[in-house]
Amino acid sequence: MERIAEPDALQREFGKRFPSLILASSSPNRKALLEKGGCSVTVFVPDADERKEGAAPESIVASIAERKIEAYISSERFSPLVPAIAADTLVHIDGELLGKPENREHAREILTALSGRKQEVITSAGVYLPGEGKLMVTDTAAVIFRPLSGGEIEEYLSTGEWEGAAGGYRLQKTGYTLVERIEGDWTTVVGLPLRKILEAAEQRIHQIYR
């Protein structure tokens, strides 16, 4: 897979719609994704329960994202005049949800399991819109890894990019070299489904003012 050219048209469109916002996440990938599209980002790290509760994978991810945005809305930092986004991303394969690796050995196990295979990356976002309230968005993209040798996995682990990354890789950095192709929105894989957020925001506005 070739390196993703940034920013793309979707990022720029998002930056025009949300020139400034609160990002209720400590993810450097999400922050970079927004800033490269022109957003002015203020980070708030929510103190939220991230236990995986629910039946379907989508509902599990959505419940975590909702707890994160609610943690921001109920905090002293909440600003009702500024849009805010919180998100959670998990990888689904073989009926199992994979989050962030606990250590290097765990990251090695995850990347070995993903080698040469198709995975689902599920990202849910909780969005606060001033004057319009909260909305939830969930999107899924498929990521197909190329077959990886043990040496290639070790080389990638040595970059340290696996730390704090769902599935143990970061698409925006050198993680794209592990991937054969993506089916769906690449911003969903990075951790913020920008297209779905834009669509949901416009739909909410039309519902209120029609």
Among 8, 47, 49, 88, the one annotated catalytic: 88
Report the pLDDT value the prediction gives residue 209, as an integer from 0 to 100. 45
Residue 182 is assigned to a structural domain of this protein: yes
Does 191 reside within a domain?
A: yes
Structure tokens belonging to residue 54: 């629910």
- Look at residue 210 and tell me whether its pLDDT is greater than 70: no
- What does the pLDDT look like over 68-116, one tens digit per residue? 999 999 999 999 999 999 999 999 999 999 999 999 999 999 999 999 9
Q: Which residues pair with 64 in a beta bridge?
A: none
Under 8 Å between Cβ of 14 and 85? no
Find the domain containing 53 and state its range: 9-209
162 touches 205 (CB < 8 A): no
Signed CA dihedral, 143, 145, 150, 154: sign only: negative
Residue 3 lies in a domain: no
Per-residue pLDDT tens digits for 109-143: 999 999 999 999 999 999 999 999 999 999 999 99
Q: What is the pLDDT of residue 6?
A: 66
CB 57 within 8 A of CB 92: yes
- Residue 159 covered by a domain: yes
Whether pLDDT at 151 is above 60: yes
Query: In this predicted structure, what is the pLDDT of residue 203?
Result: 87
Residue 86, phi then psi, degrees to nearest 5: -125, 155
CA separation for the pair 34, 23 (Å, rounded):
9
Determine, yes or no, domain membership for 153. yes
pLDDT at 205: 60
Q: Is residue 91 part of a domain?
A: yes
The pLDDT of residue 206 is 54
C-alpha–C-alpha distance, residues 184 and 172, integer Å: 16
Q: What is the pLDDT of residues 21-55, one digit of tens each?
A: 999 999 999 999 999 999 999 999 998 988 887 77
57 lies in some domain? yes
83 preceded by a cis bond (ω within 30 of 0): no
Residue 1 lies in a domain: no
Return the closest-CA partner of residue 172 out of 191, 197, 153: 191
At residue 208, does pLDDT exceed 50? no
Is the entire prediction scored with pTM above 0.85? yes
CATH of the domain at 106: 3.90.950.10
Instruction: Among 12-16, 82-86, 97-101, 205-209, name the one with the lowest average pLDDT.
Output: 205-209
Domain count, the chain: 1
Helix or strand (DSSP H, E) at 71: helix 57-73
Active site residue 94: no
